Structure 1
Amino acid sequence: MTVNRGRKIVLWRHGQTAWNLERRFQGSTDIELTEEGLGQARRAARLLAAMNPDAIIASDLKRTAATAAELAALTGLDVTHDEALRETYAGTWQGLTHEEIIARFGDQYAAWKRGEPVRRGGGELETEVADRAAPVVERAADKLPDGGTLVVASHGGTIRTTIGRLLGLEPGTWEALGGLTNCCWSVLGEGARGWRLMEHNAGTLPEPVLGDDD
């Protein structure tokens, strides 16, 4: 029997990077925030601080660490960094623009968009990303008090696969979860049957999704 403890998980994408603007596939490449990205993180942190989070975990890459640091500064919470929350490793795709990927790996790109299991650029499968990231989120959520809130600063693709895994969705349907705008977030709430999606791509007026997940 599932026990509803009233917990929430906020999955928060990092702020803008130069590669986002250039539409370059970042994957696990360690790219820093732009000044605009840092400003996005500061604005989002003020909103997230109002949720009174109990814990913050984050990918250890620079763009997510800097994003999470803004919320930590407002809340006084420590950030636990974990490389398991990194973005999908995408091998030879990393650093290429979407146009370059389509030109060089068109069949592979099309198969990925159809929801087929694809090692983009020889990298990770989406299910492998979920295998490493979702348990980290679940373990952190298990430590929350009843009614507590966990903030997870991560990456668009990793967040999508983690949501899909926590909701029990079939991997081929994960693409149905739209991408996150920089520094926006999704909220999972605990229900009688497990986790459910309460909010998706929340936090700002609609803006284009710039990144690996668009």
Structure 2
Amino acid sequence: MNGGRSGRGRRVILWRHGQTSWNLERRFQGSTDIELSPTGTAQARRAARLLASLKPDAIIASDLRRATATAAELASLTRLDVSYDSALRETFAGAWQGLTHEEIVERFGEQYAAWKRGEPVRRGGGELETEVADRAAPVVLHHAEKLPDDGTLVVVSHGGTIRTTIGRLLGLEAHHWEGLGGLSNCCWSILGEGARGWRLLEHNAGTLPEPVLGDDD
């Protein structure tokens, strides 16, 4: 893709925040407000240079610190204001939040297995994935509709929220959303507006592949 204007239709870039210490520990963050690690800040700075070349018209972000700090790197290059919205936060996962992957499997094994099978599960007593899409997808659409016909919106959010939002905008049934796979820290996916709705143009894009660490946070 290039940043030129060519009557290509609107684009939505869904960008996952940079790495945190909890990502490295495979600790489930959910809506816990964890800040970027120094590595995460460096990732955001590097990715922002690439995304700035796509000439975004608007930036919206989750109001959690790891997302706001990531968005700030792109805002400083593009001189765009960032619109923050709590609807773009990660899934609230109740008792799972703060636990490592191993602790979740040990304490909530049946619930975890049901979620991985694609069943609707309130992880830790928290939100359903469809409820996350219910709050996040309309915000993305609202801001996308305000773009010029060939405009680009950057959405700075979280792995789980991005996956559910993509699934909803593509019209996929909820049990297929897991098939989209996770996003690495500071990587992004791009949706393009087509004649029959939104299409997935790129997924987990970046210059070099990175491990997917704690993709639902």
TM-score when scaled to structure 1? 0.97
CA contact (8 A) 1:24 1:212 kept: no
User: Which of 62, 80, 84 pairs up with 1:81?
Assistant: 84
The residue number in structure 2 matching 1:199 is 202
Q: Describe how 1:97-108 pairs up with structure 2 within 5 A.
A: 97-108=100-111
CA distance in 2, matches of 1:132, 1:213: 16
Displacement of 1:205 in angstroms is 1.3
CA contact (8 A) 1:26 1:212 kept: no
CA distance in 2, matches of 1:206, 1:212: 14
SS of residue in 2 equivalent to 1:198: strand
Is 2:151 aligned against 1:148? Answer: yes
2:145 aligned partner, one-letter code: D
Displacement of 1:211 in angstroms is 1.0
Identity %: 82
CA distance in 2, matches of 1:18, 1:174: 26
Greater than 2 Å deviation, 4+ residue runs: none
1:210 aligned partner, one-letter code: L
Displacement of 1:187 in angstroms is 0.1
1:173 aligned partner, one-letter code: H
Displacement of 1:204 in angstroms is 2.7
User: Which of 37, 41, 44 pairs up with 2:44?
Assistant: 41
1:175 aligned partner, one-letter code: E
Displacement of 1:207 in angstroms is 1.6
1:105 aligned partner, one-letter code: F
User: What do you get for the CA RMSD once the two structures are aligned?
Assistant: 1.1
TM-score when scaled to structure 2? 0.96
**Which runs of no fewer than 5 residues in structure 2 stay unpaired?**
1-6
Cα offsets for 1:16-52 (capped at 9, x unmatched): 0000000000000000000000000000000000000
Q: Describe how 1:124-139 pairs up with structure 2 within 5 A.
A: 124-139=127-142
Displacement of 1:212 in angstroms is 4.0
CA contact (8 A) 2:18 2:43 kept: yes
CA distance in 1, matches of 2:111, 2:163: 20
User: Which of 95, 100, 106 pairs up with 2:98?
Assistant: 95
**Which runs of no fewer than 5 residues in structure 1 stay unpaired?**
none
